[in-house]
Amino acid sequence: MQKTRTVLVTGGCGFIGANFVRLLRAKRPEWRLINLDKLTYAGNLNNLAGIDEGPGYRFVRADIGDAAAVEALFAAEPIDTVVHFAAESHVDRSITGPAAFIATNIGGTFTLLEAARKSWSGAGRQGADSRFLHISTDEVYGSLGEEGYFSETTAYDPRSPYSASKAASDHLVNAYFHTYGLPTLITNCSNNYGPYQFPEKLIPLIIHNALQGRSLPVYGDGRNIRDWLYVGDHCEAVLEVLERGVPGRSYNIGGNNEMMNIEVVTQVCDILDRRLGLPATGMTRRTLITFVKDRLGHDRRYAIDATRIREELGWQPQVDFEQGLEMTVDWYLANQDWVAAVVDGSYKEYYRTMYGGN
């Protein structure tokens, strides 16, 4: 029989967190879910439209680095499970403004670990079923050449302020397992795409710009490789690890789907051309592609060896890239109001700083 849990999800108003909250409400409706989110530029209550507060769901607006707020929440609620998504997540922003990444990704994770440790050791909740699942990234492993894959034993070699802050938080999580016996788990996932992704990330940015008739910025030579995974598949993997993963372990999650950025961008253009016909110029949206200055320290290739999660937990992706990308483009076409609401003044300012123009 499934255990009934009281789950603290952090960052549940962001891209992956919101998809995960939706999955949990659908698949584990008997669990109580508390969503702690600061609502930064990347967090959006509209991502959870239709999920109403009640006995099964509560939203709390707070900073994960606010120890008093986090400890008060642990005191008020019988939390036995933490699924920690909240983070500053965009590599480019970590290059222009690393401080927030250090504060949230390292300091915030530390605050949560401390609150869980104190609460669970004091209240006898650190039973066999308590879990602290930390959502991390494949970027902690650094950059690959043409060969090889990241496995769970690959040495950490982060190269951006974002990935360094995530690596630091992973080390803290492991330290709490070894030192205090906190029942922690870590997942290291590759690039997600799908509904509710903020249009600063490659795929939604390209969709948005193409719909506006703007240039489509491709960094460097466009041949950097990422392994793309549909967000719904990632969320299913997280639930598997939460329920059946072995505490103290980390699990790599990937789509087995390596693509060069330029291939991803041309596929988005082709789907839009098929769905909407050619734009008024009469030319394919591929003609909007513009190669721009490379990202500083741009990692060349990420690729995941997901043997552990496949063999131990039987998880593998269900959505292939072609199908997932079509679903994603269709979601953005059908949710232009959502896009219009998030590309507000602060987005425009960010966009000007990154790409120039309007």
Residues that bind ligand NAD (CB under 6 A): 10-11, 13-17, 37-40, 42-43, 63-65, 85-89, 104, 108, 135, 137, 166, 189, 191-192, 198
* Per-residue contact flags (x/-) with ligand DAU for residues 187 to 216, judged by CB under 6 A: ---xx---------xx--x-----------
With a CB cutoff of 8 Å and minimum separation 6, the contacts of 73 are 8, 34, 36, 60, 62, 79, 115
Q: Which 235-274 positions form the footprint of ligand DAU (CB under 6 A)? A: 261
66 is catalytic: no
Cα 268 versus chain centre, distance: 21
Using an 8 Å Cβ cutoff, are 114 and 176 in contact?
Answer: no
CA proximity to 261, closest of 303, 300, 231, 305? 300
330 is catalytic: no
Residue of this chain nearest to ligand NAD (CB atom)? 14
Could you tell which of ligand NAD, ligand DAU, none binds residue 199, using a CB distance below 5 to 8 A set by kind? none
Could you tell which of ligand DAU, ligand NAD, none binds residue 186, using a CB distance below 5 to 8 A set by kind? none
Distance of closest approach, residue 140 Cβ to ligand DAU, in angstroms: 9
Q: Which 281-310 positions form the footprint of ligand DAU (CB under 6 A)? A: 295, 302
Q: What is the CA radius of gyration of the chain?
A: 20
Residue of this chain nearest to ligand DAU (CB atom)? 137
Cα 162 versus chain centre, distance: 13
Q: Which of 37, 63, 114, 139 is catalytic?
A: 139
Could you tell which of ligand DAU, ligand NAD, none binds residue 38, using a CB distance below 5 to 8 A set by kind? ligand NAD
Strands 131-137 and 184-189: parallel
CA proximity to 57, closest of 4, 112, 7? 7
Could you tell which of ligand NAD, ligand DAU, none binds residue 308, using a CB distance below 5 to 8 A set by kind? none
Cα 26 versus chain centre, distance: 20
Using an 8 Å Cβ cutoff, are 176 and 184 in contact?
Answer: yes
Strands 57-61 and 81-84: unpaired
Contact region for ligand DAU (CB under 6 A) — 83-91, 102-110, 143-151, 326-334? 83-91
Distance of closest approach, residue 66 Cβ to ligand DAU, in angstroms: 23
Near ligand DAU by CB under 6 A: residue from 28, 226, 301, 308? 226
Number of residues that this document lists for the chain: 358
Near ligand DAU by CB under 6 A: residue from 9, 112, 115, 218? 218
Nearer to ligand DAU, 36 or 259 (CB): 259
Count residues near ligand DAU (CB under 6 A): 19
Beta bridge partners of 137: 189
Could you tell which of ligand DAU, ligand NAD, none binds residue 5, using a CB distance below 5 to 8 A set by kind? none
Contact region for ligand DAU (CB under 6 A) — 136-144, 231-239, 240-248, 272-280? 136-144
Q: Which of 162, 193, 251, 302 is catalytic?
A: 162
Using an 8 Å Cβ cutoff, are 132 and 59 in contact?
Answer: no
Cα–Cα distance between 38 and 86 in angstroms, integer?
Answer: 9
Helix/strand/coil for 315: coil
Using an 8 Å Cβ cutoff, are 304 and 190 in contact?
Answer: yes
Cα 174 versus chain centre, distance: 20
Cα 139 versus chain centre, distance: 12
138 is catalytic: yes
Could you tell which of ligand DAU, ligand NAD, none binds residue 37, using a CB distance below 5 to 8 A set by kind? ligand NAD
Nearer to ligand DAU, 111 or 192 (CB): 192
Cα-Cα end-to-end distance for the chain: 55
Q: Which residues are catalytic?
A: 138-139, 162
